[in-house]
Structure 1
């Protein structure tokens, strides 16, 4: 019985190792070029988000850095949105975007987290 459980456990570990891997974060050069496809969101990102989320070592999770965002994503989208609206740690309230609506901020969070497809 015990041996059977060990074999099943080992098999599950092997299957987990074959699962999808988190892609590596973009390089600094790539991060500076990544922009939302939507022109309006791209403008908001350029003026409000990019300075912290596309530059390494700011403390903000990098754009399309799934490893950094996945830790935060597990807290739930509403928590991320609330923290963006209210400010959190070094991030100013509203993400320093006076013209962003909550829907804009949600779309920008999805973009930066590499989750433009909300099913991810």
Structure 2
């Protein structure tokens, strides 16, 4: 019986270690995700949204971004980015972005 308890205790240490590793990995991925959004913005969106070229709402103009988000809603904004607009190519120059990436980019620009 004592050997079973030792095995169980050892197994729990392994489980605790595994869970700890998973938590740290998730935390690191979350931080990397924010950095990735900044990099994607720089590569795909900044050309227009930093300068306001072609009437793009500038990054950081939170009043205009919030008005647009409230007026259209996030799903419609994501759809606009994916499908393109007169002044913006489909995908907003981000070929590999997911809907979640577009949402994060819009939120990033709105702050």
Normalization by structure 1: what TM-score? 0.60
- Of Structure 1 and Structure 2, which has the larger fraction of its residues in helix? 2
Q: Aligned pair 1:60/2:56, yes or no?
A: yes
Indicate the residue corresponding to 1:33 in structure 2. Answer: none
Indicate the residue corresponding to 1:45 in structure 2. Answer: 41
1:1-120 residue pairs with structure 2 within 5 A?
38-74=34-70, 75-114=72-111
Change (3 A) 1:86 1:40: same
Contact 2:49–2:58 (Cα < 8 Å) also in 1: yes
Structure 1 segments (4+ residues) deviating >4 Å: none
Residue 112 of structure 1: how far off its partner (Å): 0.6
Residue 89 of structure 1: how far off its partner (Å): 2.5
Structure 1: any 5+ residue segments left out of the alignment? Answer: 1-36, 115-120
Structure 2: any 5+ residue segments left out of the alignment? Answer: 1-32
Residue 43 of structure 1: how far off its partner (Å): 1.4
Residue 57 of structure 1: how far off its partner (Å): 4.4
Distance 2:83 2:54 in 1: 19
Distance 2:63 2:53 in 1: 15
Change (3 A) 1:64 1:83: same
Residue 69 of structure 1: how far off its partner (Å): 1.2
Aligned residues: 78
Question: Which protein has the larger Cα radius of gyration, Structure 1 or Structure 2?
Answer: 2
